[in-house]
Amino acid sequence: MKINPEVFRNYDIRGVVDKDLDAVKVEAIGKAYGAFLRRRKIAHAVVGCDCRLTGDEYKVALIKGMRSAGINIIDIGMVMTQMMYYAQYLYQTNGGVMITASHNPANYNGMKIAIGYSQTTGPEEVLEIKKIIDEEKYYDSPKEGSYEKRDSTEDYYHDVLKRIVLRKKFKVIVDSGHGTTGMYIPEIFRQAGCDVVEKYTKIDGSFPIGTPDPTAKKVMDRVAESVLEEKADLGIAFDGDGDRIGMVDEKGDVLWNDVLVAIFAKEILERFPGSKIIYNTLCSQIVREVIESNGGIPVMWKTGHSFIKAKIAEENAAFGGELSGHFFFADNAYGHDDGSYASLRIMEYLSEKNQTLSQLYKSFPKFISSPEIKIGCPDNKKAKVIKDLSVIFKKDFPDAEITDDTVIPDDDGTRADFEDGMMIFRYSQNGPYITIKFEAKDQAIYDERKRYVKNMLERYPDMIWEDELCVNLESLE
């Protein structure tokens, strides 16, 4: 079976529908994952999908392939990614697949693949699955695996809500962008005691108003407008599969997710002083400063939910988070990313402090900070572009503190830290694009860094400035 090797990414499988992936190829991936599980003496798995238009078709194909390897399947239907992780605990199985392309546009789909409770594949496991397909060394089971459907929704609600106590009633904007979260988030928030105002919660896997991506400024501006119109306490946007969030305060100001990482770090360090907090290289210097000022130990690590989860386990950290909106709580939860739980944790903290969201982070260091900017670049060119760009970058800023693959093994970019902010260039692990972020404490310096970033990128003809994967390019204007 020939499958475009570029769909096998560093921690999941992701590609363009009907070009990179179709039902036949997905069945082969299911057979390979079945063989992968059988090598580990695992014979049970849960499988779910998000609302993408090919989700059900791919789920049927994947399950067919897995059952041919003798894997017993529990089909949990259309769910959020965190519900797949939770179902592993509920049904006691190490195996699990979530069919989703997360924040990629509607013409993409893919799979997040479990290798244990709350743990997903890293580079070695993805390559192992690819090798099984390339060599067609599947596990031919003498008996087909069993199949049953289960609905774990109420169990999931109960499990989340038993961990949360809200001391006030919040008026909350929920913007699902027509993603899967529209089926679940309004209900779980209402059960928690919130007054919910629903925006774009009708499910539509074609994403008619654009990709549900809480890192996109246009999405968050839309939420901010709703917050002000409805006089809400806060607004929350979700990605298509529900494991990531973006947040707006009661004044209509967007909090990029590194600010949320800092808020969660502060809350946890109040209870567990001296804890390690993991954050990715795209995060603002706000995160490090808040962790240190609250007595914690900051640990910066490479981007990717699988990498951050693994680092949390390695360091025995209490919490980890990413600019993209993945948050991992190891104090009172399972340690996987769950947008429902993260949202409710913020509300719980606000109710404990009797503060508004804007009041909560008022004392934080102030930076003028760009959002996460994504620019198209072919998969077979992006690593070379970043490597070449990094050489120039380091020469241009010889006095900066540099973080790259000489500091973090196998890191995918180069970050420069200054006394008053940072800049980073990196290539994405899950799509054909490059990611940039920059910040400063002074507007003139911020504008200077913005010009530098844009000029650097314009040197490379491989950059694609008009592409559906591009996000927040207006921040370079």
Residues with catalytic roles: 102
Cα maximum dimension of the chain: 69
215 within 8 A of 257, measured Cβ to Cβ:
yes
C-alpha 81, offset from chain centre: 10
Rounded alpha-carbon distances, angstroms, from residue 420 to 112, 400, 401, 416: 37, 11, 12, 11
Residues across the chain: 477
DSSP 442: S
Q: Which of 192, 136, 209 is nearest to 342 (CA)?
A: 192
Matching residue, tokens 């246009």 = 218
Residue type, 166: L
248 within 8 A of 254, measured Cβ to Cβ:
yes
383 within 8 A of 411, measured Cβ to Cβ:
no
Query: 10 Å Cβ neighbour count for 60?
Result: 16
Dihedral sign for Cα 20, 25, 29, 35, please: negative
40 within 8 A of 114, measured Cβ to Cβ:
no
Rounded alpha-carbon distances, angstroms, from residue 166 to 193, 346, 360, 361: 7, 10, 16, 19
The DSSP element (H or E) to which 76 belongs, if any, is strand 72-78
Phi, psi of 80 (to 5 degrees): -85, 155
Question: Could you give the dihedral angle defined by the CA atoms of residues 362, 349, 260 and 179, in that order, rounded to the nearest 10 degrees?
Answer: -130
**What is the pairing mode between strands 108-116 and 13-16?**
antiparallel
C-alpha 169, offset from chain centre: 28
How far, in Å, CA of 93 to CA of 110, rounded?
A: 21
417 within 8 A of 403, measured Cβ to Cβ:
yes
Q: Which residues pair with 99 in a beta bridge?
A: 49, 111
Q: Which of 239, 68, 78 is nearest to 150 (CA)?
A: 78
